[in-house]
Amino acid sequence: MWEFVPVLVSAGLLLFAAFVLWHHRRIRRGQVPLTDITLFRARAYSAGNLANLILRLALAGALFIVPAFLQVVTGASAFMTGLALIPPTVALLIFSLGSGRLSVRLSPWVLVRLGFLIALSGSVLLRAVFSLDT
């Protein structure tokens, strides 16, 4: 199963390179680009996007692993697994709405650090609940 990972990563990098070339060609022709990739030259913009990527990958991993763990290891039904995923979904909604309001009052660096701290706290709490012998 894992032998396809290098192929998928290579295909993703190839598609990304093709997108960048296509994007530069549009700019040279005087067409409006899909996105302004010069924004990535700004360190704060790139760092914010990298932090967002890390958090999104962690969230996607958790939303993939936790249901599989609950059903396969603990033997929970699909319905009970769905019920177990309601609290994190509601928390995600609340924090998403709250972070928009907090972004007016706090600097982005404080919000990023706070987000990582909350994610780390959640991981520690999950580690306390789940162990390798569960």
What's the domain count of the chain?
2
Same domain? 70 vs 26: no
Beta carbons within 8 Å of 101's beta carbon, 6+ residues apart: none
Rounded distance between C-alpha atoms, residue 86 and residue 70, angstroms: 14
Give the closest residue to 116 by CA, choosing from 65, 58, 76, 44: 58
24 with 48, same domain: the answer is no
Model pTM score: 0.60
30 φ, ψ to 5°? 85, 10
* Statement to judge: residues 18 and 34 lie in one domain: yes
d(CA 9, CA 51): 20
Note whether 24 and 63 are same-domain residues. Answer: no
Domain boundaries, position 6? 1-41
Q: In this structure, are 30 and 63 located in the same domain?
A: no
> 108 and 47, same structural domain?
yes
For residue range 37-76, what is the model confidence (pLDDT) as tens digits?
788 899 988 988 898 888 888 888 888 888 998 899 889 9
Query: Do residues 32 and 51 both lie within one domain?
Result: no
